[in-house]
Every structure is written in structure tokens, then in C-alpha cells.
Structure 1
Amino acid sequence: MSAIWRKRPGGKATPFETVLAAATERAALLAEAEHATDPHRIADIHERLNAIDAHGAPARAARILAGLGFTEEAQHESLDTFSGGWRMRAALAALLFSEPDLLLLDEPSNHLDLEAALWLESFLKTYRGSLIVVSHERDLLNNVADHILHVERGKTTLYAGNYDQFERQLRERQVQTEAARANQEARRKKLQAYVDRWRYKAHTARQAQSRLKMLARMEPVAASAEDASLVFDFPSPKELKPPLIVLEDASVGYTPSKPVLSWLNLRIDPDDRIALVGRNGNGKTTLARLLAGQLAAMDGKIAASGKLSVGYFAQHQIEELVPDDTPLQHMERLLTDAKPGAVRAQLGRFGFSGDKAHVAVRQLSGGERARLSLALITRDAPHILILDEPTNHLDVDAREALVQALAAFGGAVVVVSHDRHLLGLIADRLVLVDGGTAKDFDGSLDDYRNQVLGAGSSKGGNGQDSGKRVSRKDERRLAADARERTKTLRKAAVQAEAEMKRLWKKRDEIDALLAEPADGLAASDLMKKRGEVERHLAAAEARWLEASEAADQAVSEV
């Protein structure tokens, strides 16, 4: 059995009706039962309806829609009243409801918020059929997949295990490939040297010819590819005294008579890493726009440092790039007084160096356009980055590079994202946007996940209340205490890891130069540089180990 949705559903049908209609066998049997007259056929129909749990279908359809974010009221509204993203959710719900033997999903979480993505992951973990999923969500791949099919350079390789296990196997394979390539190159040079020396000597011409044939038959081992799309480097801002932004009983919205959010009391400091969580439609983007200065407070008070610079990223900015202009032209329009070197330096931070700066935007991939947008909004080294779904166009490796860049960023970060892996590594403070306001969520991302999925019962294993169990309020207080104690340590560990990766790359570049023919003086300088890199690398590894162990110890003590 299979089911395919090629376009967004629409029309006057409701999401609930659309999902129920996906059970084609149930619909056909119910229609036949209305007109059947043969008692034996009627009995067969009802027996089959019981077998496929036709009577429980409406409740199952409602549960799937609720999991994907549809309220009970929304489930019965016309699809024409929904945006394209919500209609895609309805299509996904119908597909899941139909329970095909093979379920093929291409980026299923792109139109979902964090809450719906968490529910989808939980659903797919227990799916009874076969599943093939194309996704850039690392946590989804880790928790759902048991095999990874890697597509690279027109070839596919199947790896057993989840994404983390695949990545480990891939690194090992790349190390083996590089070693094989280096060995082959050494052998090639040795054979070529023999041929060059002896091919014109009568007594060795035959041996030289034999080695020449060996060279011709030798298939080159391809070097591991370096991906320029993995370049992110946010310029760190000048220091500002805290707080950066303070909201006091503020309200914000689009019409004066109906604010989207009210009674907002928030403070953002330079070292804050904040994730805005809450279902789509609750006002996360509205709050982000208020903090970015794109919306004014309708009531209450908002105070910000006079020298505050804000970088705001939203999906619509990618669509607003001029298709026929180059990254260099886009940056020159914004940095009118900057020297050409400064303009190119900012582009180079995000991988647009050399000829890449002169490629028209229409020829760039979605990930490259996202990088260009991030380069444009950070041109003035903002004190706070406000990112609304920054990973939608990025693949897994690019998302990892973004995480590293955000960890090394010297300002505050406020992010809206359905990528739990990014939030788990970046955010040390959650702000829940719900019920017409926004408040700090006193718990971890896992606490929030459990709340969304309805977990975290205070009952003991026998189903009775456990008197010895710590109260949920105390659990949240202890979790907040742990986060506060380990925030600086975890930040130091992530920054040290980013420095280690930079130094590994620098060392590889020096090794590549050392492998090329050069005079003794140049080789000596390179060896000195390599020694310096090794010393810095050892120091970074020590800082990473010390910070990681200290953070783990602090958590265990709490």
C-alpha cells in the first residue's frame, strides 16, 4: 500500500475531512455499506471495517492533526483559510494517517514548529512500516533512522546506524582515503622518477616501459571534498554594559485594538543565548520583530542601549535578494563608506571570497543565499543576533558550522528554530511564547520536550504518587541552577572546540604546503608555523577538556 501527496490540499474541505479521506478503503467500504443489500456482503463489509478499526479512525485523525498543531476548532475550518505551510501540515497528517507500507518523507519538518517536529519524531519512532526520510534535522535522523544512505559525487553508500554513527564511520573512511591517496601519490612519484631516469637507457628501457604502463593503469584516489558552504564567521561586537534590552509591561501587535502579546517583562544581557519556543501562531516572530526594532511597543516600556546594533534574520530576506546582482554588489550597497578590502573581508567571513563574490544570486543555492543574508545583517558587528528559522535552507554540515559560529560569537543570540540540535547546543535560556505573553520557561529543552509530548508524570512506577519524588517545581529550580552554574563552562567548551577545528584546518593547510617541492628556507618557515599551530592546538584541547569536565561535575553536584 502506498500514498503520495504531490501538492498542498485546498478547497472547502476541512483538515479533518482531508485526513479521513486518506483512508480510501474505509471510505469505499462505508459508501458501499449504505447501498449493499446482500446480507453476506454486508457482513463482510462490517468485518473488514472492524479489522481496519474504521470506527476509531476519526479519533486517530484528530490525534494526528493535534500533534501537528491543529487545534480542535482549526481541524474543522476550510483549508482555504490556511496558509500554504499549514496546508502542507494537513497533507502530512493525511499521509501519516493512511499508514502506507513504505512512507517516503522529503524534509517533513520544514513547515513545522519545534512542538510539531517533536511530535512527528515521536510518531515516526514507533511507525510500523518502512520509512525513507530526507532530512537535515540531526536529532530526527539520530532518533528515527537505523541506516544512513550517503549521496556524494553521484555515488551512494549505505551506513548502518543513526546519523552520529554515520558521521563517525565517514570520518574514519575519509582518513583511510587520505592515507591511501598519500601512499598512491608517493608510489606514483617513485615510479615517475624511475621512468624519467632510465627510460632512455638501453639496458633499463624495458623496466622503465613496464613502470610507465603501471602509471597509466593507476586510478587516482579522489581527495576528500572541502565544502565552501560551511563557512560562517560572525564578527564580534564592541562591548556594551548590560542590559541590552529591557521590556516592562510591554505589548505589541499589528492593530492597536488587538495586541498579539501583552505584559511582556524581559531582559536581555550581552551573554544571553535565548530560544523562543511555543507553537506557530503564538507570536514568536512578533516578539522577535519587537526586539529587532521592526515593531514598536503599543503599550508599556522598551529600553535599549543607545549604541545597540541588532542583526535580524528572517526567511523573507532571502527572497528579497536581487537575483541578477552579485554578493559583492549587495554588500557594497550597504557598506557605502567602507573600503573595498573591508567589503570583501565581510563576504569572506561567509565563504564568498574570490570569484564566488561575483556570482549572480540566482545561481546560488538556498544555503548560499542564507549565508549571504547572514553576511549582510552582520556587516556592522551587531551586539545581538535575532535569528528566525536560520537553518531552513542549510544541510546538516552547514548547520553544524552555524552552531560553531554562534558559539564563538561575542554578543547575545535570540533564536526561533525547530532544529532541536541547534537549540540544545546554543540556547541556555528558554522563553515560552504562549497565552498572549512571553515568560521564561524554568526548565531545560528536554523538560520542554516532555511537556509538549505530555510526559513527565509525577507518579511512581506503580502509578501512585511517590512521596520521595522531588516536586516538578523543585526539578525546574535545580535544572535552572545547573544551567546557571554551567553556562560559562559550556560556552568555554564550545569556543575551545571551535578553535580546535580552526587549528586542525590550519595544520592540514600547512601539511599540504609541506608536501609540495620547496626550498629549504620556505620549508623551515612552514615547520615553525606548524609547531606554533600544534602548541595552540594543545592549549585549546586542554581548555576544552577542563571546561567539559568542570561542567559535567557541576551538573552532577546539582
Structure 2
Amino acid sequence: MLNLNGITVRLGGRTILDRATAALPPGGRIGLIGRNGAGKSTLVKVIAGLAEPDEGSAEMPRGARLGYIAQEAPAGSATPIETVLAADVERAALLVESETATDPHRIGEIHERLIAIDAHAAPARAARILVGLGFDDAMQQRPLDSFSGGWRMRVALAALLFSEPDLLLLDEPSNHLDLEATLWLENFLKSYRATMVVVSHERDFLNNVVDHILHLDKGQTTLYIGGYNAFERQRAERLAQQSSARDKQMAERQKLQAFVDRWRAKATKAKQAQSRLKALARMEPIAAVVEDPSLSFSFPSPQELRPPLVTLDLAAVGYAADNPVLRKLNFRLDPDDRVAFLGRNGNGKTTLARLLAGQLQPMEGSMTASGKMRVGYFTQYQVEELDIDDTPLEHMTRAMPDATPVAVRSQLGRFGFSGERATQKVGSMSGGERARLALALITRDAPHMLILDEPTNHLDVDAREALVQALNDYEGAVVLVSHDRHMLELTADRLVLVDNGTATEFAGTLDEYTDMVLGRGGNGGGSATEGGAKPKGSAKDARKAAADARERTKVLRNAIKAAEADMRKHEQRRDQIDLAMADPKSASPADAKRNMTELMLLRAELTEAIDTAEARWLEASEELEIQSAA
């Protein structure tokens, strides 16, 4: 479907892509991964035809339609539903032509084609996509100019998904989404039948959506079979082999060099010494496996405070005195708490975070906080507001005016800005590096509570793992707003659902919350509003309706779970077979005894089983969507 042929791109004298080559399988779901600044977005732009490589090419079959989201969010007076429907260019053109055509033969052709592309069902399909991405009926009818940039980017994503291109290119599609919309998108992409290339740093998203990983490292690409976990295992094995091979090579080089040094001057051994010298010259050095020292997060530990840190008693908070976003907030936060806020964007998660951070005051009720408590509050705005002409050292020096140069450097070093990294311009840094700098700035005074609002945007997978480790080592309280389930699962031990104009403890697990979201409307349901408007109906009615919906669709949800379990089981077994085919020494004893023909037949059987389970999953999911919408 897509061939990358020796693509080389140089920017500012630096080689970004260095003869990147890969043959991507037709219908493959490819996860494109790599460290921040590795060149993933550059490669996607080359594939999309928006950037011209210095060498090489990206080749697609003639006539294949490619879909890619432009950097600019759509704007204007058109509504989201109109914008999404317009993305099907053929349908839009046929409808316009049908209004003016006079030739009966042509009119017949137009209507036949409209039936063939299922044009009459398009509005319902467009609406389902928009609902899945958080747009209720009222929001679908509002002009685009009334939405923020993040919501307009959701419209762009909806339009792209609706257009169903033959090659779908998605560059970090969940960056503008909340957890609920991310779950819907993941489900949608599972059933997408065309080829897709997805740039993502979310481990769970990659494990659940893609079947190949294209790893971009040092300008070159390597294709792995399986999701992210399979890639990580295969990558670790490859690095271990590389390290072992390097050690053997170094020993061989030392042996050859010792012979040359000893016998070069002796006439009877001169030819042998010369031949070994040539062997040394021909020996291609194996690169050492180097850990990136910049992958560092270490939050300073605060002085201990007695609990509670914060108590809310029937508090209300918002931006207009007569219209609070959240009411009846009863909430307690202790020094060792790890809390995740759940709920759709616009329901008030950020408003509640700002209240805890002291940026907003309660309109009603009370908020009691320890007088000595220091809060570190991270948002994407802080990343965007960094001065691009200054260095990390200059930023931190201004933020710590009374600190010694050693203390300033020490705080920067906690986040990977040591040596020359501390004096590079912010303008030359990647988004992930800027996020690390913002985290370094907000934790400079060892806060007792960290409030992190989408901290993983722009962080690559390795940096996210480092952040998870740092949060687990941190001795203060943590409040998280994030769509990264992997981070929430490993970090949070309390879940708070922000919905229906208040915040309540969610008694279940994150998996149970995921089931509730996907079972409630089949499309990530629930009403989403921008600006925190309250959905209609009481919380009691909403809970009853959700319980009724779960009971009504229990059989289908169980069928979906069973199909997903079968897919995971067969995919894991197929990964084992792939490993046995690639490296028999690493295979299980049983697989190592099989010959290549047996392994290939077994792999084909597993692939067929995966397809069967996937068909069951799709059938049950479609039926669930129909019943839930009823």
C-alpha cells in the first residue's frame, strides 16, 4: 500500500531522516513512534506530499485517496455537521449537481451513485462521529467560530474520519481529546478497514489499535509486527543482542590490535600483522547502546504537612457569580493522595483544578487549605508562554532570584537540563523538552501538591514512563487530568468523576469506567458541553438511565469483551510465532522444534482466528450502538 524508498530530509544542515525505508502492508494499522524530535511529523508530511524530501520518495498505488489533518483548525460560520458532511467531496458535488441537472440519463447516474455511496445515511454517520468526539446535538448546529481551537481540531478529525480515505494519516490525534473521546476514537479505529499510519505516544492506544510499529530512530525506520508491548519486547531483545555483539567485537578488535602491536616490526610476522590491520580497518564498529541522559524527572520532596491539605465543604466554583460551573463539592485531599479527575472536556475538570490551586475562590460553601501548603500547577499554557529567545538557565534564574547558581543548576538537572542543555534556546527545543522545562519551573519550591493538567501532551513514550516513575517517587499529593490511561492506571489510586455540575468519587476501577463510557451510547456517549453547561436531568435520573442501559446491553458488552479477549490471546500467540520465525534461539522449546512451514501454517491459522474474533467484535459493537441509541 505504501512504500518508503530511501527518504532523506535535511533541515538547517541537520539530517532529520536518513534513507528511511519501509514497505507498509496493505490494510495495515501502523503506529509510527520515536523520541521527540526524531522526525515523525516530518515523515508524515513527506507521505502526505506536504514536504519534499532531499532524496527518496513515498509511493502509493495510483488513485488511492490520502487523508491528513491540516495544521490550521477549520473556522467560519459553517456548523460542525456541515463541515463534516462537506468532507465527502464526491457526495457534496453530486448533491449540488442533482439540483441543476436536466438530462434524465445523467440524473439517473447521479442517483445511482448516491445510492452506491450510501449518501442518504451520511448525515446520521457524520452525527455519530461528532457525538463520539464530544459534540451533542446543540453543539453540532453552532458555527465553528464559536468554538475554541481544540474543539475545532476535533471537527477536523471528525471530517477526516468521515471521508474514509484509503490511507489515513493521524499525527497525535488524541492531543486535543479527553479520555472519553480517546476511548471512542480507539474503538472507531479498531474497525477501520483501510491502511492507517498513526503517530502516538500512548501505550494503551497503540496496543489496542495498531498491528505494526514503525520505529523511527536516528533518522532510520524499522518495522515491527504487533502493538507497542510486542515492539518493546522485540526492541529490548535487539538491543541486548547489539550490546552483546559489540562486546564480542570489542574483544576481537583488542585481540587483533594486540597481535599487530606485538608483531608489526618482526619480519616473519609482518604480513600476518598487516592482514590483521586490514581486518581491523574493514570491521564496521557496532554502536554502543546509549541511554539518553535527558530522560529525567525528579520532583523535589516537600516538607511534611499534617492532613488534610485541602477540604471543600459544599463549595461552588465558576466564572460568573450567577452561574457556577460546579456545585456541592465535598472533597478532601491528604498529603499522600493520588487523584485522577475523570469526565468529558467542558464538564469542569480544569475549573476544579484551578480551585484547588488557589486560582479561583469558592462562590458558595467553604474551602480550607493548610496555610503552609505550596502548589505546583501545570497546564499547557505554561508551555506555550515560555520565552523562545531565552534558555532554561535564564528561565530558572528568574524564577529563583534568591537561589545560588548551584541550586538553579541542580533544579534544572532534575529534569534533564544539565551542561549545554541548560543553555540552549527554548525556540530550538521540542515540545517534550519545553514541557519538562515547565515542570521544572513549577516544582522549583518543592510543592506539597502537584496538579497536572494533561502533562503528557508532546511527551514521547519513554518520557511518559520517566514521568510516571517520578510521580510515584514524589512524596506529595498528586492531582491528574489526563487522557493517558497508562499513566492514570500506574499513578492514581482515587478516581473523581466531574459530571452533572459536581464532582463525586467513582467507586470502580479505570477499566470499569471505560466500560461505562463505551456502554453508555456505544460511542463514548454522554453529553459533552463546552464551558461546563449542565446536562438536563438530575444525577439520580442519569445514574438510573445508565444502569438501565448497562443491563439492557449486558449480553452485547460481554460478547465484545469475549471477542477482545480472544483477539488479545491470538495476537499474543502470533507474536510468539513471529519471534520463533525471526529468532529460533529465543523461542519456547515447543516452538523451537517446529520447522518454518509449520510455523507459517500456525501463524496463518492465528491470523484467521483474529479476523474471526474481530468480525464478532464488530458485529456486537454495531448492535450495541443501535440498541444504545434506541
Smaller-chain TM-score bracket = 0.7 to 0.9
2:136 aligned partner: 71
Instruction: Using CA pairs under 8 Å that are at least 6 residues apart, name the structure with larger relative contact order, 1 or 2.
Output: 2
The alignment status of 1:91 with 2:156, answered yes or no, reads yes
The alignment status of 1:382 with 2:441, answered yes or no, reads no
2:289 aligned partner: 224
1:17 aligned partner: 82
Find the partner of 1:146 among 207, 211, 230.
Answer: 211
- C-alpha contact (below 8 Å) 1:229/1:398 kept by paired residues: no
Letter in 1 for 2:66: S
State the shift of 1:462 in Å.
Answer: 6.3
- C-alpha contact (below 8 Å) 1:229/1:367 kept by paired residues: no
State the shift of 1:244 in Å.
Answer: 0.8
Report runs of 4+ in structure 1 exceeding 6 Å deviation.
460-465
Distance 1:461 1:9, change over 3 A: closer
1:112 aligned partner: 177
Letter in 2 for 1:224: V
Structure 2 CA distance for aligned equivalents of residues 2 and 327 of structure 1: 40
Find the partner of 1:298 among 359, 363, 366.
Answer: 363
2:231 aligned partner: 166
Structure 2 CA distance for aligned equivalents of residues 295 and 214 of structure 1: 71
Give structure 2 stretches of 5+ with no counterpart: 1-64, 521-548, 559-630
Deviation track 1:356-388 (CA, whole Å, cap 9, x = no partner) reads 222222222211111111111111221111001
Structure 2 CA distance for aligned equivalents of residues 239 and 87 of structure 1: 44
1:453 aligned partner: 518
Q: Secondary structure at the match of 1:385?
A: strand
Distance 1:108 1:463, change over 3 A: closer
2:492 aligned partner: 427
Letter in 2 for 1:353: S
Deviation track 1:434-474 (CA, whole Å, cap 9, x = no partner) reads 22221112211112212221258325876899xxxxxxxxx
- C-alpha contact (below 8 Å) 2:294/2:417 kept by paired residues: no
Structure 1 CA distance for aligned equivalents of residues 137 and 557 of structure 2: 31
Output aligned runs, 1:479-494, within 5 Å: none
Deviation track 1:26-65 (CA, whole Å, cap 9, x = no partner) reads 2222222223334443333323222221111111110100
Find the partner of 1:244 among 309, 327, 331.
Answer: 309
The alignment status of 1:396 with 2:461, answered yes or no, reads yes
Distance 1:167 1:350, change over 3 A: same
Q: Secondary structure at the match of 1:110?
A: helix
Structure 1 CA distance for aligned equivalents of residues 406 and 99 of structure 2: 77
Letter in 1 for 2:550: S
Letter in 1 for 2:443: T
Find the partner of 2:258 among 184, 190, 193.
Answer: 193
CA RMSD of aligned residues (A): 1.9
State the shift of 1:321 in Å.
Answer: 2.0
- C-alpha contact (below 8 Å) 2:68/2:168 kept by paired residues: no
Deviation track 1:170-201 (CA, whole Å, cap 9, x = no partner) reads 00000000011111111111111111111011
1:348 aligned partner: 413
**Alignment length (residue pairs):** 465
Deviation track 1:335-355 (CA, whole Å, cap 9, x = no partner) reads 233333322222111111222
Deviation track 1:219-239 (CA, whole Å, cap 9, x = no partner) reads 100112322331001122222
State the shift of 1:210 in Å.
Answer: 0.6
Letter in 1 for 2:234: Q
State the shift of 1:77 in Å.
Answer: 0.8
State the shift of 1:18 in Å.
Answer: 0.5
Identify which range, 437-446 or 331-340, moves more after superposition. 331-340
Structure 1 CA distance for aligned equivalents of residues 480 and 186 of structure 2: 21
Q: Secondary structure at the match of 2:130?
A: helix
Letter in 2 for 1:120: L
The alignment status of 1:270 with 2:363, answered yes or no, reads no
Find the partner of 1:36 among 101, 122, 139.
Answer: 101
Q: Secondary structure at the match of 2:268?
A: coil
- C-alpha contact (below 8 Å) 2:519/2:553 kept by paired residues: no
Deviation track 1:297-350 (CA, whole Å, cap 9, x = no partner) reads 222100011221111111111122222322222222232333333222221111
The alignment status of 1:54 with 2:147, answered yes or no, reads no
Deviation track 1:87-122 (CA, whole Å, cap 9, x = no partner) reads 111111011011111111111111111111111001
- C-alpha contact (below 8 Å) 1:432/1:438 kept by paired residues: yes
Find the partner of 1:334 among 384, 393, 399.
Answer: 399
1:371 aligned partner: 436
Identify which range, 44-53 or 276-285, moves more after superposition. 44-53
